[in-house]
Structure 1
Amino acid sequence: MPDLILLFAVSLVANTLSSLAGGGAGLLQLPILLFLGLPFPVALSTHKLASVALGAGATLKHLRAGTLDWRFSAVVLAWGLPGVWLGAQLILAVPERAAMLALAVLTALLGVQSLLQPQLGQQSAPRARHGWQLWLGGAVLFGIGMLNGSLASGTGLFVTLWLIGWFGMDYKQAVAYTLVLVGLFWNGAGAVALALQAGVHWPWVPALLAASVLGGYLGAHWGLARGNRAIKRAFEVITLATACSLFWKAWA
């Protein structure tokens, strides 16, 4: 019971922040699973399964708000899901330290870029929805999907910033797409693929699912209420904190 209470509290904080910033639940949730004794592959698949509930909680809020364009959502899923599946198949062959260091550097760059561009993501200006620009944007989403299938920390943040920088969304829109499409569908596909390889620690799943649904709803509610500037600040804090966490885990 003490483990479950600790797990629920940490996961609720992690998922609320992730839902507000558009990624980063693995910053706190995966380490607590490892701290409580799960092997890395089992912790990763258990975390992925719980992240599906984060997407479900956020989906409830954003469906009511009418935030998503489902035609564009289909594009994100069509490119991202094959990458997620491939990344999940390759996870056991990837050197963990090298992958974490590379992801830490890239994640830190996301936060720095956002800090250096005060107007980034403050206004919506849709673009790159046709021709070669759409294909290139989709190819990058495929690559991020591979990272999502093989690693737990920070990949939603990559999707959020790519939707802003390439497709012209503001932070509020990009976070909504990330939470619903990455949180619910990408993580769902990754959870199934990883569970088939490593298994899931089922006794802890109910506490994780409850924290994820509640955190997803709360973060989405606060994000819609506070606006783009608050979401941008949360994104920057989470990206830099995630990068520090990845550096620490890679060298520990």
Structure 2
Amino acid sequence: MAAQFGLFIISLIANTFSAFSGGGAGLLQFPALIFLGLPFAIALATHKVASVALGVGAAFRHYKERNLHLQLSVLMVVSGVPGVLLGAWGILAVPEQAAQIALGLLTIGLGIYSVCKPKLGTENLFQQLTLKRAMAAGCGLFIIGILNGSLTSGTGLFVTLWLVSYLKLDYQRAVAHTLVWVGVIWNGTGAGLLGVLGQVHWSWLPALLAGSLLGGYFGAHLSIKKGSQVIKRAFETVTILVGLALLVKAF
């Protein structure tokens, strides 16, 4: 019972911050599963399954605000899911240390880039997608999908910044799309494949799912109330922390 309660608290905190800033739940949740004794592959599959509830909880809150764009939502699903499947299928072929170092440096770079662009994501300048822009955006989402399927921390942050920097959404709407479509569809796809290829620690899932569901809702509520400027600062903080955590873990 003590372990279950600890898992719930860790999951609640991690997913609240993730839903507020647009990603990074794996910063606390995934290492905690390993620390409590799960092997890497089982911890990864279990974390992916639990993270689906993050998107579900956030979706309930963002749906009320009508923050989701239909055309962009379809593009995220169609472009990202094949990448997720490819990444999850090829995870065993990737050298773990090298991947974590590269991902850590890149994630820190995301935060620094956002800091250096004071106006980035503070206004919603999204326009209807032309075929050319949709194809370019889809390619970026496919590549991030590969990372999402194969790695554990920070890939939701990549999607958030891609939507802000290339498609010109504000942080609030970008986070909404990331949480719903990456959280539910991308992570659900990766969890399903990893569950088939590996193993899920089912007895720990009730606490993790409860924390993810509530954290997703609370974090989404905070992001709606605080606005894009505060979310931008949270995004920058979380990206740098996630990147540093990945580097420490790799070494």
Which band: TM-score by shorter chain?
Answer: over 0.9
Query: Within the alignment, does 1:46 sit opposite 2:46 as a pair?
Result: yes
Residues 156-198 of structure 1 deviation map (CA, whole Å, 9 limit, x = unaligned): 0000000000001000000000000000100000000111111
Q: CA deviation at 1:134?
A: 1.7
Query: Within the alignment, does 1:177 sit opposite 2:181 as a pair?
Result: no
Q: CA deviation at 1:62?
A: 0.8
Q: Which runs of 5+ in 2 are unaligned?
A: none
TM-score w.r.t. the length of structure 1 is 0.98
* Residue of structure 1 in register with 2:32 after alignment: 32
Q: CA deviation at 1:133?
A: 2.2
CA RMSD of aligned residues (A): 0.8
Q: Is the 8 A contact 1:84 1:147 kept in 2?
A: yes
Q: Aligned letter for 2:129?
A: R
Q: Aligned letter for 1:160?
A: T
1-side partners of 2:128 and 2:138: how far apart? Answer: 10
Residues 101-146 of structure 1 deviation map (CA, whole Å, 9 limit, x = unaligned): 1100110000000111111100011147113222111001000000
* Residue of structure 2 in register with 1:109 after alignment: 109
Residues 196-244 of structure 1 deviation map (CA, whole Å, 9 limit, x = unaligned): 1111000000000000000000000000000011101110111000001
Q: What SS does the aligned partner of 1:51 have? A: helix
Pair 1:128–1:93, CA change in 2 (3 A): farther
* Residue of structure 1 in register with 2:2 after alignment: 2
Q: CA deviation at 1:43?
A: 0.3
2-side partners of 1:136 and 1:71: how far apart? Answer: 14
* Residue of structure 2 in register with 1:204 after alignment: 204
Q: Aligned letter for 1:221?
A: H
Q: Aligned letter for 1:25?
A: A
The number of residues matched between the two structures is 251
Structure 1 consecutive aligned stretches of length 4 or more whose deviation exceeds 4 Å: none
Instruction: Summarize the alignment of residues 67-86 of structure 1 with structure 2, pairs less than 5 Å apart.
Output: 67-86=67-86
2-side partners of 1:21 and 1:44: how far apart? Answer: 22
Instruction: Summarize the alignment of residues 182-193 of structure 1 with structure 2, pairs less than 5 Å apart.
Output: 182-193=182-193
Q: Is the 8 A contact 1:170 1:228 kept in 2?
A: yes
2-side partners of 1:86 and 1:35: how far apart? Answer: 28
Q: Aligned letter for 2:97?
A: R
Q: Aligned letter for 1:91?
A: I
1-side partners of 2:157 and 2:102: how far apart? Answer: 15
TM-score w.r.t. the length of structure 2 is 0.98
Q: Is the 8 A contact 1:128 1:134 kept in 2?
A: no
2-side partners of 1:128 and 1:38: how far apart? Answer: 45
Q: Aligned letter for 1:92?
A: L
* Residue of structure 2 in register with 1:62 after alignment: 62
1-side partners of 2:148 and 2:127: how far apart? Answer: 25
Q: Is the 8 A contact 1:67 1:176 kept in 2?
A: yes
Q: Aligned letter for 1:129?
A: L
Q: CA deviation at 1:66?
A: 1.1
Instruction: Summarize the alignment of residues 214-233 of structure 1 with structure 2, pairs less than 5 Å apart.
Output: 214-233=214-233
Q: Aligned letter for 1:29?
A: Q
Q: Which runs of 5+ in 1 are unaligned?
A: none
